[in-house]
Structure 1
Amino acid sequence: MNDARLSGLAVNPAAPAQVLLKLLAPEHEDTWSALAGRRASFPEEVAAAIVAHPDVRVRKALARNPYVEPEVRGLLVDDPEWIVQAWLAGRPDRNRPVRPLPDRVIDRMLTTYDNDCLSELFSSRQIPFRVQLSFARHPLAAVRRYALNVWGSLTEAEQAALLDDPDPDLRAAAQNTVRRRRDEDDEAVTERELGTLPPPRNHWTTHLLVNCRLPRTVVDWMMNDPDRDAAWTLAHNYSTPPDVVASLMEHPDPDVRRQLACRDDLPPALVRVLARDPDPQVRTEVSLRPELSEDERAAIDYVVEPDRHTGVPWEPHASAPADPAVSAAHARSRHPLLRRRAATDPALPTELVTLLARDDDAGVRLRLAHHHPAAPSDLLLDCYLSHPGPDHHRDLLTEHPNFPTADLGRRFATADTPAERHLALLDPDLAPDAAERLTHDPDAAVRAGAAAHPRLPAPSLMALLDDAELGAHAAANPALPTTVMRDLLS
Structure 2
Amino acid sequence: MDHRLLGLAVNPALPGALLDRLIAGADADTLEELAGRPDLTPAQVAALAARDEGAAVRLARSGLLTATDVDPAGQPGAALAMLAEGRGLPSWARLLAVDPAVEVRERLAACPGLPSDVVARLAADPEIRVVAELALCTTAEVAARLAAHPHAEVRRSVAVNQAAPPAVLTMLLTGEGLPPARWCLVCERETVPFEHDPHCPRPDCELPPGAACDAGHQSTVHAIQWAALANPATPPAPCAAFADHPSLLLRRELACRTDQSAATYARLAEDGMPWTRSTLAANPAIGAALQRRLAEDDGYDVRRSLAQHPRLPLDLLTRLAATGRIGPVLLPRVASASPVEVTELARSASPQVRMLVAQRRDLPDGVRDALAADPDAKVVASVAPHPGLSEAQLRAALARHGDRVAAAVAANPGTPAALLADLAHRNPPARKALREIARHPNATAPALQVCLTDLRARRSAAGHPALPPSVLTELLDDDDFQVVEAAAAHPALPRTVMARLVAGR
* TM-score normalised according to structure 1 size: 0.48
Tell me which of the two structures has the higher relative contact order, counting C-alpha pairs closer than 8 angstroms and 6 or more residues apart. Answer: 1
